[in-house]
Structure 1
Amino acid sequence: MSNWADHAIWWHVYPLGFTGGLHRGPGHRFGHLIDWLDYAVEMGVNGLQLGPVFASGTHGYDTVDHFRIDPRLGDDADFDELIAAAGSRGVRVMLDGVFNHVGRGFSAPRHWFRHTGPGPDDVEVFEGHDALVALDHDEPEVLDHVVRVMNHWLDRGVSGWRLDAAYAVPPRFWRAAVDRVRSRHPEAWFTGELIHGDYPAYLRESGLDSITQYELWKAIWSSLNDRNLFELVWALERHGEILEAGLPLTFVGNHDVTRIASRLDDVRHLGHALAVLFTTGGAPSIYYGDEQAYRGVKQDRAGGDDDVRPLFPAKPEDLSAYGWPTYRLHQRLIGLRRRHPWLTHARTKSLSLTNTAAALVSTAPGNRLITLLNVGDTETTFDIDVAGLRVLEGDGATPGTVPAHAWQILG
């Protein structure tokens, strides 16, 4: 695989929500996303991670045709225009491949599906969702289909795949699929959705390049809310083991979780979360709207995702003034990461640690940055050697002395 993924920072968009197509009829809506590419590039990203774009029954994850663009988003010509517009700006595109399950309207022979009994309707469904029918990953024709789909869209100009619900699929299936696809597209990048479990083992067995780093996501907001930075440091130790096996997709928000600005009990700690995201190893992904401090709570009910999958306005000028400081913070932290590209594979450990204050050192051969987090109510002067270091980002002018509820990055 090419090393382009080492330099990828993703802007993650759920297209049906972003374009307003989710609850509407057919339309040519990809243009709305094209209109925001310059905004994304100016933030510093060079990857567009798209949620489902294929024909589906409702929310995109109930696919009915993997070879057809969802008519609510447009058609093949609209998709080609998006790929060309992204490519002209140096932006790679990653698609969401929903290959564990399909919608009820998906047309395929009976033996493509997992069954619970002999009847025509005795099909296994995904995690209790009656509209999502589980594919049989021991069936060679299913493997052939997935390989065809992946190759088709890679041929059309995409650079990689996020594999939805990868955790529900045997890792040997992914290994067989990506080995075949890589023979034709050696630079393609594959990240699998894993929520829990043994991430390094799954990476090794599946042959995937990456997994979604939910463990670190949870530790970031949870440690800040609980004022228990020991949890974060423990997760960062585990994160180092994952980095030995692949390049995890790191994030503080996505289409399936409550937004980080709503998840944090203290909005002053948003910068802390972002400082950790951009100074630890991995391929960072920013969920659209998080860079504007959007709020939204995921709820466990029908339509419970709508709040975190909203329509984006027509143009940047229509955004609230409230969100722009967070956008500019993203710009600065992405800029810092661009100036220190070694951070992609850095290992992060603690130099000093209490419940409310942590000095995290990120290192790679010949390189070092220190991220200081203070979630306490008083100023903290860290007992670390700051000789020759200066404040690259964050609060406070004196290296190593961090105001209450503030952070610093030293280099």
Structure 2
Amino acid sequence: MFILKHKPDKIDRYPIDRYNLVIKARIDSWDLSFEKDSIKLEFCYWNRQTDKPNEYRTEEMALVYKTKNSAHYELVLNTNYPTSYLKYFFKSGDDYYDYYGSSKEFIEGNAFEYLYTNNQIFDGEVSWLKDAVFYQIFPERFCNGNRQLDPINVEKWGAKPTSTNFMGGDIVGIIKRLDYLEELGINALYINPIFEANDNHKYDTMNYFKIDPHFGTEDDLKELVKKCHSRGIKVVLDGVFNHCGYSFPLFQKALKDKNSSFRDWFYFKEFELPDGKILDYECVGYYPFMPKFNYSNKEVREYIVRIGKYWIEEYDIDGWRLDVADEVEFQFWYRFREAIKEVKPEAVMIGETWGEQTSMFLENQMDSLMNYIFRDAVISYLAKERISTSQFDERLNSILWIYPKNRVNQLFNLLGTHDTERFMTVVEENERKYVLGLVLLYTFVGIPSLYYGDEFAMLGGNDPDCRKAMVWGETKFDFSKLIRRLVDIRKRYKAIREGSFKTIYCSDKQKVYAFKREYKKEKIYVILNISQFDQTCTLKENGVKEQEYINLLNEEEVIKKEKDDLFVDLPAQSAKILLGSQ
């Protein structure tokens, strides 16, 4: 009738700590009559050293989410002792599922086995991260605070952005806008590169130990960090360690002298660009002005570690967003992590990746990952309406399935960055859809990051158009009040920051989607209607004591439950965030 899939590896089985083991299993069926909700799946186990096999214990697994052809189950097994020497199998009805497949009888020798949870470093959880509300700043375009730092060829603030022009944003400008940022409710800054470089984006680093002179001085950074910390705001810098700039002195030495000891710091070999041009070195993304580092060279590894530690030790930054982290040799990140955590245990590592990189979590390389697959799902469903509500539900739940249970609350969620179209451009200036996107950003599992200017729904295509100068003053759109409300909701309720996630309504016909975030006795319901018509959805919460529900987006609205049903009226393309009260 169905196939059970479970891989005894870090994907389907991993420890949260020495006493708790996460177990996952998936049931697949192509039988259209397959009733996934009716399948009860049990996890059966015993300790091979202390228990008798025929006296195995059982735990019912929870149905986490389902798709058209599959059902996903999960269990957090608490063993009350350092988890070790477990033998186990799965059972559904009269059927047994073990290492070799399914059978009608229990065969001891066919059981899966988990040997031992070592006293490894379970340091993937950064205590402040799950409470973070990030704001991303592209320094050259945020605020010009000191015109004496401007490049000679600086253009007027608000000029059309190009890949080469400058408008004079700097670190002093960020300092001058801290009151504004604090009022917006943010408590963490992610700042794009600020080290000396030729281009406006600063991803072509020349000197990793010097602030770009057009951005200010090392003292300016020290002042920024100190003033941020006094306001409870963390500061995370962009670490561009996969590659350097063409003008990086050690690259120039290697380029000009084939006998240079720095030759092995890079990949010198014939490298063809898409336009047919031939280089004699490898570069990132086919950009000839950004040659790649060779991480098989020990000196390179130690050099980058030294950079990572330096800015934490000397300027007290709170960690790194690591550019194209999935292109760097994975083994290196263990060394980098160990080094910066020795300096500052709560320093964060946020890896850039545009796809799914479960291994970077499971192998304890990163504390957080940029969640572009969340953005992809929101755009496909909300902006482009390419996928159905049930497909959107599958995508959101798959994110929570593929990533470790103890890390999903640290996923770095976003709707736009310096590398993407502006979200208001993506939704074609549909203000109601824009609001729905913001609601999802601030209520889905993980930490939200707002790209500078998105509070004013700035427009812009892909790079460089998404890097316009920040609008200060009168604007066409202003969602700052809504963002402050969403941030306040997030800060007030642990259900949003740390709670579980469960789909509670999903209608392809109505285009209505609802999910519940729950933490202990706290329950919050997020309901979205993306259709162009008013809709009513019925949420069934049997046995729940709450009788009234307050819309946290508009606290004057109270919805009363009728018996076990909660009828929610949703205007076209709107959302409600409900909190139950008795």
What is the TM-score normalised by the length of structure 1?
0.90
> What is aligned with 1:297?
461
Higher helix proportion, which one? 1
Q: Which moved more, 1:92-101 or 1:102-111?
A: 102-111
Question: Within 2, Cα distance between the matches of 1:139 and 1:77?
Answer: 33
1:225: how far off? Answer: 2.4
**2:395 is the alignment partner of 1:235:** yes
Higher strand proportion, which one? 2
Matching residue within 429, 436, 440 for 1:272: 436
Bigger RCO of structures 1 and 2 (CA < 8 A, at least 6 apart): 1
Instruction: Please give the residue correspondences for 1:71-150 in structure 2 after superposition, counting only pairs within 5 Å.
Output: 71-108=213-250, 109-117=262-270, 122-150=280-308
Question: Within 2, Cα distance between the matches of 1:136 and 1:398?
Answer: 60
Question: Within 2, Cα distance between the matches of 1:297 and 1:255?
Answer: 10
Amino acid aligned to 2:576: Q
Question: Within 1, Cα distance between the matches of 2:437 and 2:282?
Answer: 39
1:281: how far off? Answer: 1.6
> What is aligned with 2:330?
171
> What is aligned with 1:405?
573
Structure 1 pair 87–42 and aligned structure 2 pair: CA distance change class (3 A): same
2:518 aligned counterpart, secondary structure: strand
Structure 1 pair 26–380 and aligned structure 2 pair: CA distance change class (3 A): closer
**How much is the aligned-residue C-alpha RMSD, in angstroms?**
2.3
> What is aligned with 1:67?
209
Instruction: Please give the residue correspondences for 1:7-26 in structure 2 after superposition, counting only pairs within 5 Å.
Output: 7-19=131-143, 24=154
What is the TM-score normalised by the length of structure 2?
0.65
Matching residue within 354, 362, 365 for 1:207: 365
> What is aligned with 1:302?
none
Question: Within 1, Cα distance between the matches of 2:173 and 2:130?
Answer: 29
1:132: how far off? Answer: 0.9
1:195: how far off? Answer: 0.4
**2:206 is the alignment partner of 1:45:** no
> What is aligned with 1:301?
none
> What is aligned with 2:347?
188
Q: Is the 8 A contact 1:10 1:48 kept in 2?
A: yes
Question: Within 2, Cα distance between the matches of 1:221 and 1:18?
Answer: 26
Amino acid aligned to 2:288: D
1:306-352 residue CA offsets vs partner (Å, 9 max, x unmatched): 32122235xxxx4224333x000000000000001342333433211
Question: Within 2, Cα distance between the matches of 1:115 and 1:249?
Answer: 35
Which 5+ residue runs of structure 2 have no aligned equivalent?
Answer: 1-122, 145-149, 155-165, 251-261, 272-278, 542-546, 560-567
1:157-214 residue CA offsets vs partner (Å, 9 max, x unmatched): 10010000112112221122111221222110110001013x2222223521010000
1:201-248 residue CA offsets vs partner (Å, 9 max, x unmatched): 222235210100000011112201244333431222122132525221
Q: Is the 8 A contact 1:394 1:406 kept in 2?
A: no
> What is aligned with 1:244?
405
> What is aligned with 2:540?
385
**2:537 is the alignment partner of 1:373:** no
1:117: how far off? Answer: 4.9
1:295 aligned counterpart, secondary structure: coil
Matching residue within 498, 507, 511 for 1:345: 498
1:395: how far off? Answer: 10
1:383 aligned counterpart, secondary structure: strand
Question: Within 2, Cα distance between the matches of 1:253 and 1:202?
Answer: 22
Question: Within 2, Cα distance between the matches of 1:310 and 1:166?
Answer: 26
Structure 1 pair 396–195 and aligned structure 2 pair: CA distance change class (3 A): farther
> What is aligned with 1:330?
483
Which 5+ residue runs of structure 1 have no aligned equivalent?
Answer: 299-304
> What is aligned with 1:152?
310
Structure 1 pair 206–170 and aligned structure 2 pair: CA distance change class (3 A): farther
1:244 aligned counterpart, secondary structure: coil
2:346 aligned counterpart, secondary structure: coil
1:107: how far off? Answer: 2.2
Q: What is the identity percentage for the equivalent residue pairs of Structure 1 and Structure 2?
A: 27
Q: Is the 8 A contact 1:102 1:132 kept in 2?
A: yes
Structure 1 pair 256–217 and aligned structure 2 pair: CA distance change class (3 A): same
Amino acid aligned to 2:317: V
Q: Which runs of 4+ in 1 moved over 6 A?
A: 25-28
Question: Within 1, Cα distance between the matches of 2:450 and 2:330?
Answer: 27
